[in-house]
Amino acid sequence: MNFTINFDKKIIVSFVAGGLLVSSAFYLQPTKAQAVTTLSGQYGCILNRNFGGLIVPGGNGTDGSITGSNFMMYFDFSGRTAQMSVVGLKYWGHTNKQVDTASLTTGSLSPLSAGPLTNSFRATVDFTYQGQSGNIATYNLMSVNGGTTLLVQEGTTGNNDGEPTTGVCNKV
């Protein structure tokens, strides 16, 4: 007994093309960026003050002024507070360079305002250092990775802003 199956090539091609079209409708959907309207929760940050190319007033490396800084920060947008630890370097470029660690500073975080770019915010912190408040720092924060990461830029305004500071924060 012989058994033969005949396939119409047009039907097979139509079936395969239809399957590809349907599957591409599910897998090739363009994703749209979601606008972030506010920041909430807590973020841990690492920042670096960029002194390259800048002249630090009185900071020629011989008078003990800090000529390099790294920051570890904690933003609590729900509680509207901030904390910062600073590690600075004195006498940069000299054999007698010293690490200068500032004590932990705490601050109150002002309400967020719109930042200069899409999905960005401006945050102002009034830090208290050695019992003195009024150390204002202003940060541009851009939300990326669905709000789990913030890009940070500082040094734009405020009385504690000077050399530009950049870094990144992750939601904790």
Angle, CA of 119, 156 and 88, to the nearest 5°: 110
pTM: 0.67
- Confidence tier at 165 by pLDDT (50, 70, 90): confident
User: When comparing pLDDT for 1 and 129, which is higher?
Assistant: 129
For residue 112, the number of C-alpha atoms closer than 13 Å in the C-beta half-sphere is 22
Looking at mean pLDDT, say which of 3-17, 18-32, 154-168 comes out highest: 154-168
DSSP string, 52-88: TT-PPTT-SSSS--EEEEEEEEEEETTTTEEEEEEEE
Q: Each residue of 70-96: pLDDT tens digit?
A: 889 999 999 999 999 887 766 656 666
Query: How many helices and strands in the chain, by DSSP H and E?
Result: 1, 10
Domains plus CATH for the chain? 42-171 (2.40.160)
> What DSSP state is assigned to residue 48?
E
